[in-house]
Chains A and B, each alone.
Chain A
Amino acid sequence: MIRLDRAGRTFKVRRNVVHAVRDLSFSVAAGEFVGCLGPNGAGKSTTIKMLCGILTPTSGTVRMAGLDPARRRTTVARRIGVVFGQRTTLWWDLPLLDSFELCRHLYKVDRGLFRSRLDELTETLDLGAFLRTPVRQLSLGQRMRGDLAAALLHAPDVLVLDEPTIGLDVVSKAGIRDFLRRVNTERGTTVLLTTHDLVDVERLCRRVVLIDHGRLAFDGSLEQLMATAPGQSSIEDVVTRLYTGGARPPGDVARQ
């Protein structure tokens, strides 16, 4: 469903060339739930943006649902749902319901299907109370639920989430996690999320991909991640050890 093959992206900053992502290869099969970890500035968001077609890779290949997202951006967009935790993709000054209506038109969702999906999402995400409120007046938790609903109205095959739980309280986080688990298990939607919250990873991700300095530093199951540091019992310690270990050459990347 998702495939990166030696993908790289460089940015020119004044005279220097910064490698945000280099030689990154991994793939995600249909129905998987994958968490993407890495310290700040590791290249997680750059990777996500290459997968959505927002950024064009400077080397290697990126495939989303078999297509090149940079060249077939609008076709890819129809098949994926994208949520950015840091900023809303909804129309800031419009009521939530208007945003959803716009999504229905932009994604060409049949009116009947739209109604039933919206009803279902309104119930599971508990949107009823603020459907007519402008997005700018929503709390962060409400807004995030609205964003999730908007990303799923066209029933995408893949859901891509960049820090979906950032800034939320424990109750809101738990609600979002429950919802994401259901989307993955009940609808079979492939989910790729980036996060700094290791509870997200523990509760949701069967597989972890760790990016550091733009390279793949680990790719395996949660158990295998824990096994990289036999003495440690908490995921926090294990991940800290991996982050502070620095970038390794691609040769000794821990693989399945």
Chain B
Amino acid sequence: MVRTYALLAWTWTRAAAAYRGSFALMVLLGFVVAAVDVAVILVVFANTTALAGFTRDEVLLLYGAASLSFTLCDMLVGNLDRVSAHIKAGTFDTFLIRPIGAWVQLAADRFNPTRIGRIVQAVLVLGHAVTALGVGWDRGWMIAVMVATGMVIFGSLWTLAGALQFLLTDAPEVVNTFTYGGQQLTQYPLAVYSRELVLGVTYVLPLAFVNWQPGLYVLGRDDPFGTPEALRFLGPVAALVLALAAMAAWRQGVRHYRSTGS
């Protein structure tokens, strides 16, 4: 599957690179747009020294980690939320006549390498935060786990979003709540939100494991909501459970696919 994905992605990259000027412009544009998010955080800290008890660089660490997971996922599988568009255009059929899974074909379809600009921006923010906070290897290893966990969680959310679109063909935007909504939520320390919401994204939809729980470990802090210490390390488990659920949902979705007339 990885080979098939790489092959499809490479073919699309070559097609996109044929227009060099537009390619460079899109990379730059992605970088600038993402920079606005960081600017908002900096503006907040120009007026205050702490956000829900977190310093500027601590917030940037949480933001950078979540942003890196999200933008990587967005580039790799972000196309999965186009199920409904493909169903309506009748083009989903063509994925199903090929001898490989529809998931990998759809994920790689129109692979867009210009999103690299946003990824670079996330790496820079994360790098700055790690340096400024002086995070050492003793706790810094968790950052790698955190980014990988975040990618699996966001990838699963995209898969779930795609699977839901087999049912909600007429309301494809509803599923953006999970994907883009998830990104918005993880941009700030969860401590700024209400207790109910945070418990929901800890125990139901595991968005808290994208950056919050493992991030608390990296920062050596206690959870203001008092969740048990063990949760800091349970991210991979939560991600795996969500991934399995997403896979099952996707299979059901394809099985219930109705195609179009003609």
Contact = CB atoms under 8 A, between A and B. Distances in A.
B96 interface: yes
B90 A87 contact: yes
A217 interface: no
Interface string B90-118: 11011011111100000000100000000
A162 B259 CA distance: 14
A87 B91 contact: yes
Contact of B259 (A55, A73, A89): A55
A238 B101 CA distance: 43
A73 B257 CA distance: 14
Contacts of B93: 49, 54, 84, 87
Q: How many B residues touch the partner, as a band? A: 20 to 34
Contacts of B8: 102
A41 B14 CA distance: 41
B48 interface: no
B257 A78 contact: no
Contact of A11 (B4, B96, B258): B258
Contacts of B96: 52-54, 73, 77
Chain A interface size, under 10 / 10 to 19 / 20 to 34 / 35 or more: 20 to 34
A188 B97 CA distance: 22
Given A11-B258, A45-B261, A87-B91, A54 B97 contact: yes
A74 B100 contact: yes
Contacts, number: 65
Interface in A163-214: 163
Contacts of B15: 93-94, 98
B262 interface: yes
A45 B97 contact: no
B20 interface: no
A73 B100 CA distance: 9
Interface string B244-262: 0000000000011111011
Nearest to B96: A54
A106 B98 contact: yes
B7 interface: yes
A210 to B, nearest CB: 18
A82 B100 contact: no
A41 B260 CA distance: 11
Interface in B203-262: 255-259, 261-262
A36 to B, nearest CB: 14
A106 B262 contact: no
Nearest to B256: A56
Contact of A82 (B7, B14, B97, B257): B97
A55 B262 contact: no
A144 to B, nearest CB: 15
A70 B256 CA distance: 11
Contacts of B97: 52, 54, 77, 82, 89
A105 interface: yes
A74 B99 contact: yes
B234 to A, nearest CB: 35
Nearest to A78: B99
A240 interface: no
Given A49-B259, A84-B94, A87-B90, 17 more contacts: A41-B261, A52-B96, A52-B97, A53-B96, A54-B97, A54-B257, A54-B259, A56-B255, A56-B256, A77-B99, A82-B97, A86-B90, A87-B91, A98-B11, A101-B11, A105-B7, A163-B262
Interface of A: 11, 41, 45-46, 49, 52-56, 70, 73-75, 77-78, 82, 84, 86-89, 91, 93-94, 98, 101-102, 105-107, 162-163
